[in-house]
Amino acid sequence: MSQKTAKYRKDYQAPDFTIHSVDLTFELDPSQTRVTNTMVVERQGSHQRPLVLDGEGLQLIQVSLDDKTLNGDDYSVNDQQLVVSTDKDRFTLTIINDINPSQNKALEGLYLAENTYCTQCEAEGFRRITFYLDRPDVLARFTTTIIGDKSQYPYLLSNGNLIKTEQCGDKHVAVWQDPYPKPSYLFALVAGDFDVLRDSFTTREGRDVKLELFVDKGNLDRSEHAMTSLKNAMKWDEERFGLVYDLDIYMVVAVDFFNMGAMENKGLNVFNAKYVLANPATATDQDFLNIESVIGHEYFHNWTGNRITCRDWFQLSLKEGLTVFRDQEFSSDLGSRAVNRIQDVKIIRSHQFTEDAGPMAHPIRPDKVLEMNNFYTVTVYNKGAEVIRMLHTLLGEAGFQRGMQLYVERHDGQAVTCEDFVAAMEAANEQDFSQFRRWYSQAGTPQVEADVDFDQDKQQLNIALRQTTPATPGQSEKLPFHIPVKISAVTPSGQVITLNEGLLHLQKEQQQFVINGDFSAKLQAGEQPVVSLFDNFSAPVKVSRKISANDLRTLMAHAPDPVSRWDASQQLFGELIHQAIAQQTTVKLDQQTISACRQLLTSDADPALIALALTPPGAATLADNYDEIPVEQLRHNLKQLKKQLAQALKDDVMARYQQLTATLKAHDYQLQGDDISQRQLRNTLLSYLAEINDDAAWFESVYEQADNMTDTLAVLQAVTWTEHSVAEELLNRFDQQWQGEKLVMDKWFQTQALADNDATVARIETLMQHADFSLDNPNRVYSLLAAFTQNLAQFHRADGAGYRLIGGVIQTLNDSNPQVASRLLSAFMSWKRYDAHRQALMKQQLEELSALPNLASDLQEKVENSLAA
Ligand code: B3K
Ligand code: ZN
C-alpha cells in the first residue's frame, strides 16, 4: 500500500498509448464481480515501449490481444500495473478480471453498500475496477454492459444513453453508450432499487432533456428541491455562460455511502444523499441552499471539467476553482449575493489560511503530489475560485465571458492545463497576465500592510500598500503578486464619497496610490474620509492596517459594500479579543461598540446581514492570527464577548426576536429569501438569549413551537452550546423523534460534538455506540468526529483525551477507509502552532501513525509532511 512515490508536475509526459474505445461488461456479484474490458489501443509516437496499464487490487483472469490469448511471456502483472509487450501500433486488448465490491470499504472503485452498487473513480479509482490508462489525458468512447439480478437491482445505470435492454432469466442486461470521449475518472455505474423523480428540461435550442433523480425508496417527498435546483442550474448556465447541456438524459443518484459531496460523472452524477434529500421537516435552510449549490456545481462541471478536462491532476483547479466560482455565482444570482460572499470569505479565513500556514501548504496548482485524494483541498477549490474571481474583477463580466468563450472554442473535447485557461483569458482581452500567473505557482497567504492618509491641503487620499508572502514548504522566496484592491470611502457621517478610482493594482512589493474624489463637496471642514479597502474581499490576502475603532464603526454602519460592512464588525470584535489576550485580561465590550451593535440590530438592514455582523469571528479565524494559539484564552474571551453582548442588548434582542417570530408565524414555512433571512436573524438572537436566560420552560416551548428543522436545530444548538439547563431534555427529545433518520441524526451528533463542554469527549465515546452511528459511513464520521476536531477547546484538551480519541479512530480507518481517515488527520497537521505540552501530545499521535506497518498513502503523505515541519 505505502510504496507510492511522489509525482512532480514538471515531469509530465504525454501518454505512450491512447485508448479510442472501451467496452466494459460487468457481471454483478457481491463478492466476485467479473469485469470484461475490451479496448482499442493505439501507440502514440514512434517509441517501442510496452503498454503499461494501472490496476490495483484486481484479480486478473485473462489477457488477449487481437483475439490471441496471451501467456505469461507477453505480459507481467503486479499489484500496481499490468505491462503488455507488443510491437503492434494499433490493437484490441481484452482483459478479464474479478473484483470484490462488498469488501470495498474505502468507497473508491466499485463498491456495494446497503444493496446499492456504486462507483467513485476520481481521481484514481478506475484502476480498482479494471486495468487501464487511468489518467485524465486519455479520452475514450465508453460502452458499458451491466448484467445483474432483476429483482434486487431493477435499475442498471451508466454514462450516456441507454441503447439496449434484455432479459435473461432472473437477470437483466442494460447497455449504455456515451457518445462523448472521456477520461476514466468520469466513468460511473450504479445498480440498485430506487424511487425515481422524473422531469424534463427544454434547452434554448429546443432539445428535450430527460431528467431523472434516483433516491432510496420512500424518499420522493424529499427530492423536489434537488430537481428544481437542477433545472435552475441548466437555465442559468445557458443565460449567464451560454453553455447548453449536450446529452438527451441527465441522471442524479443519491446514495448513503459516499466519501465526499458528489461526483460529476458524465450524464450520471452520484450524490451523497445529504446533498439531495430535503424537506422542511428534515432539512435546514442551509441544507436547501447547499443542495442548490452542489447540484449546480456538478452540473456546471459538464462543461468545465467534462467537455474540457484536466491534462493531469496537478491541473485540478482548472476545473474545480472555475466550477466553484461558477456555483458561487449561481447561488449569488439566485439568492443573496452579499450573504453568499460573506460565507465564502469565512471559509477562506477559517480554513484556507490555516492550510496555507501548515505543512501541506500548496499553490492552487500543486507541484508535488503523493496521494492525489489529498489535494481536493480548500486551496485548490476555494482559493482556486478566488483566483478566478480576481480575473473576473480585472476583466469585468463582459471580458471574462469573452475569455470563457474563447477557452471553450479552443479546447472543447481536450484535456488541458491552467496555463491554457489563462492564455485564453489573455488572448480574448489583449491582456498580459504574466505576473498574475504567480497566483497559480506560489503558495501562501499574502499579507498586505496598508497605510491610509488624507492630505487636507490637496484634498487627496494617499494609500501606501506593501505586500509580503511568508515562506511555505519548498518555497522560501516569493515574488510580488498582482493584487486587485477594491476601495471606497465615506464621510464620518456615512455619506458615500465618489472616488476617481475604485480598483487599485498592487503589483510591486510597495506602492503608493494617490486618489482624487469629490472630497471637498462631501466633507465638512476638518473631516477625514473613512476608507474601506479590499471591498468584496477583492483578493485572498490578510490585511494589516491601523484603523480606529471609530472608523470601523462608521464602516460597519455605512460602507457602500455589504461585505466590508460585515468585515468591519469582524475587525472590531477581533480587535477586542486580541487586546484582551495581549493584556492577559478578560475582554470588555465598550459602550460605543454596544451602541453600534444596537443601532444595527434595530435598523432595517437585511436581517441575514445583521445576523452575520452580530456574530463574532469563529475560533479558527481568530486562532490564525497567532503563532502559538492561545487555546484557553480564545475560548474564554469568545464566550465572554457573546455573554456581554447578550447582556448589554438584552431588551432589544428580545424585542426583535419576538417581532421576527410573529412575522414568520403569520404564514407557513417558506423557502424564500426574506423568510430565510429573517429566520437567520431570529435564530442568531435565540443563541444570544440562551447565553443569559435560564428559563427552561421558555426554551422548551420554543422547541415545541418549531415547525421546521431550521428552527428546531437552532434551539437545540443554542441550548447545547451554552450548557443550558434544558439541553439534556431537548437532546433526548430530538433523539426520540428522529432516531433511524440518519441524515437528521447527523445534526444531533454534530451539535453534541461541537459543545465546548468538558464531558464532550466522554459523550462522543458513548455516541459512537449509538444505533445510528457507524464508522463505515463517512457522513457519520464527519458529523461526529470531524466536527469534533473543530471544537477548539475540547479537541485540544490539555490532558490529550481529544487527541487520543481521534488518533484511535484514524488508526481504525487507516485499514478500512483511508480517505476519510485522512480528512480527520488534517486536525493534527498544525501541531507546531500549539504550546510545547500540546505539541508533544499531538506529535505522539503522528508518530504512532507513522509507525503503522500498513499506513495508507493518504495518511503517509500528511504524517511525513507534518513531522518534517
Ligand atoms: N470532482 C469531485 C471530487 C472528487 C474527489 C476525489 N477524491 C466532486 C466535485 O468537485 O465536484
Ligand atoms: Zn467539482
Question: Of all atoms in ligand 1, which is nearest to the CA of residue 297?
Answer: 11
Enumerate residues 6+ apart whose C-beta is below 8 A from 783: 746, 747, 749, 750, 753
**Whether the CB of 320 sits within 6 Å of ligand 1:** yes
pLDDT, residue 1, reads 45
Annotated active-site residue in 56, 124, 212, 298? 298
Q: How many CB atoms lie within 10 A of CB 70?
A: 17
Q: How far is the CA of 616 from the centre of ligand 2 (A)?
A: 30
Amino acid identity for residue 147 in this structure: I
- Confirm or reject: Cβ of 123 under 6 Å from ligand 1: yes
List all residues 6 or more positions away from 472 whose beta carbon is below 8 Å from its beta carbon: 356, 361, 362, 443, 444
Q: What is the 3-state secondary structure (H, E, C) of 48-60?
A: CCCEEEECCCCEE
Helical H runs in 666-759?
673-692, 696-705, 709-721, 727-738, 742-753
Q: Write down the H helix ranges in 348-494.
A: 353-356, 378, 384-411, 418-429, 438-441
Task: Using the mean position of ligand 2's atoms as its centre, give its distance from the Cα of residue 415 in Å.
Answer: 16
Query: How many angstroms separate the alpha carbon of residue 23 from the centre of ligand 2?
Result: 27
Write the pLDDT tens digit of every residue in 101-129.
999 999 999 999 999 999 999 999 999 99
Asked, as a colleague might, if the bond just before 123 is cis with ω within 30 of 0, I would say yes
Residue 264 beta carbon below 6 angstroms from any ligand 1 atom: yes
What pLDDT digit, counting tens, does each position of 288-326 carry?
Answer: 999 999 999 999 999 999 999 999 999 999 999 999 999
Which ligand 1 atom sits nearest the alpha carbon of residue 264? Answer: 11
List the Cα angle 700/789/314 in 5-degree steps: 130
- This prediction has a pTM of 0.99
Using CA atoms, how far apart are residues 4 and 9, in angstroms rounded to an integer? 16
298 is an active site residue: yes
Question: Measuring CA to CA, how many Å separate 344 from each of 327, 389, 569, 792?
Answer: 11, 12, 17, 21
Give residues with Cβ within 8 angstroms of 650, minimum separation 6.
Answer: 692
Give the number of the ligand closest to the Cα of residue 324.
Answer: 2
At 72 the pLDDT is 87
Q: Specify whether the CB–CB gap between 198 and 211 falls below 8 A.
A: yes
Q: Which residues of 588-621 are buried (b: 16+ CB within 10 A; e: fewer)?
A: ebeeebeebbbebbeeebbbbbbbbbbbbbbbbb
- CB-ligand 1 contact for 858 (6 Å cutoff): no
Report yes or no: 355 and 378 within 8 Å, Cβ to Cβ: yes
pLDDT tens-digit profile of 205-230?
A: 999 999 999 999 999 999 999 999 99
Cβ–ligand 1 distance for 429 under 6 Å, the answer no
**Does 297 contact ligand 1 (Cβ within 6 A)?**
yes
Q: Phi first, then psi: give them for residue 7, nearest 5 degrees.
A: -115, 150
The Cα–Cα gap between 187 and 136 comes to: 11
Task: Give the C-alpha separation, 400 to 408, whole Å.
Answer: 12
Closest C-alpha to ligand 1, atom 9 = 263
CA of 213 relative to ligand 1 center, distance in Å: 19
* Contact assessment for residue 512 and residue 464, using Cβ atoms and an 8 Å cutoff: yes
Nearest CA to ligand 1 atom 10: 320
The verdict on the CB of residue 376 being under 6 Å from ligand 1 is yes
Whether the Cβ atoms of residue 534 and residue 543 lie closer than 8 Å to each other = yes
Residues of the chain with pLDDT under 70: 1-3
Q: What is the pLDDT of residue 368?
A: 98
Pairing mode of beta strands 17-27, 33-43: antiparallel
| Domains of the chain and any CATH numbers | 1-193 (2.60.40.1730), 194-273 (3.30.2010.30), 309-441 (1.10.390.10), 658-668+678-868 (1.25.50.10)
* Angle, CA 660 vertex, CA 656 and CA 664 arms, to 5°: 175
User: 615 Cβ partners below 8 Å, 6+ apart?
Assistant: 684
**CA Rg value for the chain:** 28
* Cell matching residue 678: 429573517
Counting beta carbons within 10 angstroms of the beta carbon of residue 36, is it exposed (0 to 12), middle (13 to 18) or buried (19 or more)? middle
What pLDDT sits at residue 3? 67
Position in ligand 1 atom list of the atom nearest CA 259: 7
